Chains A and B, each alone.
Chain A
Amino acid sequence: MKRLLALAVFFFCVSPFPHAHAADLLVPKPTIARDESQLLPHYTTQTSMTTEGKGGYLHIVYSSSQPFDLLIAPFRSSRGYLPIDLSRVHMPAGKHRDVRIDLTGSPLWSPGQHKYYLLFGSAQKSVDTAVEDMSFLPTPLLQVPIIAVRQFFEAESYQISSYHTLLGYRVLTVSVTLLGGCIVLLTLLMLLIRKAQPSTLLGVLVLAMLAYNMRFSLDLIRFTAHHLQQWYGEGLYSRAGAVVHIAQDVQADQQKHSFGAPYVYVCTDDTNYYAKMLRYHAYPVTVATDLQSDAPLTHVLVHHSQWSETGGTLHCGQFEGTVRKLADYPDNTHLYSLLPAE
Chain B
Amino acid sequence: MILLFLIPLALLLIEGWFAAQLIVPRAGKWLQLPLALPVASLSNALLTFAYTVVDIPLVPASVLGGHVLIIIVLFVLKRRQSADVLLQENGEKSVPLFPQRWSRFILLLCYILLGVSFVYSFVHAVLLPTMQLDSLSNWTHRAQVSFVDHHIVYDATEDRGVAKPQYPILLHSLQITANQLQFKWNDHIANTIHWLLSLSSFGALFLIIRRLRGKQVALLGTTLILSIPLLQLHLAQGFGDLPLAQYLLLALGAYAMYVQYAGARWLMLSAFFVGAACWTKSEGLFIGFFPFVLMLGCHWFLHRPERKNLLMAAGISLALAVIYPLFLVAKGMHITPHSTDTAVQFTLAGFPYLFPALFTNGSLGITWYVLPAAIVILLALASRRDPRVACDMLPTFIFGTVGLAIVLFTYLFTENVQFLINEESFFRQLYIPAALLILSCILAYTPAEQSPEQGHL
**How near does chain B come to A50, taking the closest CB pair, in angstroms?**
24
Q: Would B130 and A280 count as touching, CB distance under 8 A?
A: yes
A: interface residue count bin: 35 or more
Q: Would B373 and A223 count as touching, CB distance under 8 A?
A: no
Q: Would A224 and B234 count as touching, CB distance under 8 A?
A: no
Docked Cα-Cα span, A175 to B357, in Å, equals 12
Q: Would B223 and A210 count as touching, CB distance under 8 A?
A: yes
Q: Would B123 and A156 count as touching, CB distance under 8 A?
A: no
Docked Cα-Cα span, A199 to B220, in Å, equals 15
**How near does chain B come to A34, taking the closest CB pair, in angstroms?**
16
- Within the complex, which residue of A161, A168, A201, A231 is in contact with B457, where a contact is CB–CB below 8 Å? A201
B366: chain A residues within 8 A (beta carbon):
177, 180-181, 184, 208-209, 212
Q: Would B362 and A166 count as touching, CB distance under 8 A?
A: yes
- Within the complex, which residue of B129, B133, B450 is in contact with A281, where a contact is CB–CB below 8 Å? B129
Q: Would B227 and A213 count as touching, CB distance under 8 A?
A: yes
Interface centre among A196, A205, A213 (most CB of B within 10 A): A213
Q: Would B136 and A277 count as touching, CB distance under 8 A?
A: yes
- Interface with A: B114-122, B204-212, B308-316, which one? B114-122
Docked Cα-Cα span, A216 to B127, in Å, equals 21
Docked Cα-Cα span, A132 to B131, in Å, equals 45
Docked Cα-Cα span, A205 to B136, in Å, equals 38
Using CB atoms, name the residue of chain A closest to B238. A163
Q: Would B135 and A280 count as touching, CB distance under 8 A?
A: yes
Considering only residues 37-57 of chain B, those with a C-beta below 8 Å from chain A are none
Residue tally, chain B, CB below 8 Å to A: 74
Q: Would A177 and B131 count as touching, CB distance under 8 A?
A: no
A164: chain B residues within 8 A (beta carbon):
423-425, 427-428
Q: Would A216 and B229 count as touching, CB distance under 8 A?
A: yes
Q: Would B227 and A280 count as touching, CB distance under 8 A?
A: no
Q: Would B369 and A181 count as touching, CB distance under 8 A?
A: yes
Q: Would A202 and B445 count as touching, CB distance under 8 A?
A: yes
Question: Is B144 an interface residue, CB under 8 A from the partner?
Answer: yes
Question: Is A167 an interface residue, CB under 8 A from the partner?
Answer: yes
Q: Would A280 and B136 count as touching, CB distance under 8 A?
A: yes
Docked Cα-Cα span, A177 to B359, in Å, equals 7
Question: Is B388 an interface residue, CB under 8 A from the partner?
Answer: yes
Question: Is B306 an interface residue, CB under 8 A from the partner?
Answer: no
Q: Would A276 and B161 count as touching, CB distance under 8 A?
A: yes
- Within the complex, which residue of A169, A203, A273, A280 is in contact with B141, where a contact is CB–CB below 8 Å? A280
- Within the complex, which residue of A195, A228, A276 is in contact with B133, where a contact is CB–CB below 8 Å? A276
B124: chain A residues within 8 A (beta carbon):
223-224, 227
Q: Would B234 and A206 count as touching, CB distance under 8 A?
A: no
Q: Would A209 and B224 count as touching, CB distance under 8 A?
A: yes
**How near does chain A come to B421, taking the closest CB pair, in angstroms?**
12
Docked Cα-Cα span, A164 to B152, in Å, equals 27
A214-B113, A217-B116, A276-B136 given as contacts; is B233 within 8 A of A163 (CB)?
yes
Question: Is B148 an interface residue, CB under 8 A from the partner?
Answer: yes
Q: 0/1 per residue, A249-292, Cβ < 8 Å to B?
A: 00000000000000000000000010011011101100000000
A208: chain B residues within 8 A (beta carbon):
366, 369-370
Docked Cα-Cα span, A169 to B377, in Å, equals 28
Question: Is B342 an interface residue, CB under 8 A from the partner?
Answer: no
Question: Is B86 an interface residue, CB under 8 A from the partner?
Answer: no
A164-B424, A217-B116 given as contacts; is B369 within 8 A of A244 (CB)?
no
Question: Is A46 an interface residue, CB under 8 A from the partner?
Answer: no
Q: 0/1 per residue, B384-428, Cβ < 8 Å to A?
A: 001010000000000000000000000000000000000111111
A168: chain B residues within 8 A (beta carbon):
360-363, 365
Docked Cα-Cα span, A227 to B424, in Å, equals 24
**How near does chain A come to B381, taking the closest CB pair, in angstroms?**
6
Q: Would B456 and A195 count as touching, CB distance under 8 A?
A: yes
**How near does chain A come to B155, taking the closest CB pair, in angstroms?**
13
Q: Would A227 and B224 count as touching, CB distance under 8 A?
A: no
Question: Is A143 an interface residue, CB under 8 A from the partner?
Answer: no
Q: Would B230 and A184 count as touching, CB distance under 8 A?
A: no
Q: Would A220 and B117 count as touching, CB distance under 8 A?
A: yes
A162: chain B residues within 8 A (beta carbon):
233
Question: Is A239 an interface residue, CB under 8 A from the partner?
Answer: yes
Q: Would B141 and A209 count as touching, CB distance under 8 A?
A: no
Q: Would A181 and B359 count as touching, CB distance under 8 A?
A: yes
Question: Is A185 an interface residue, CB under 8 A from the partner?
Answer: yes
Considering only residues 115-173 of chain B, those with a C-beta below 8 Å from chain A are 116-117, 119-120, 123-124, 127-137, 140-141, 144-145, 148, 161
Docked Cα-Cα span, A181 to B365, in Å, equals 9
30 pairs of residues in contact across A and B, judged by CB atoms under 8 Å: A156-B362, A160-B133, A162-B233, A163-B234, A166-B229, A166-B230, A166-B427, A168-B362, A175-B362, A177-B362, A185-B369, A192-B457, A198-B456, A205-B377, A206-B106, A206-B224, A209-B224, A210-B223, A216-B365, A220-B116, A224-B119, A224-B120, A227-B123, A227-B128, A237-B128, A237-B129, A240-B129, A277-B136, A280-B130, A283-B145
Top 8 closest pairs, chain A to chain B, by CB: A168-B362, A181-B369, A213-B227, A166-B362, A175-B360, A165-B423, A217-B116, A240-B131
Apart from the given pairs A228-B128, A237-B128, 9 other A-B contacts in the complex at a CB distance below 8 Å: A166-B362, A177-B366, A197-B456, A205-B374, A206-B220, A210-B224, A210-B227, A224-B124, A231-B128
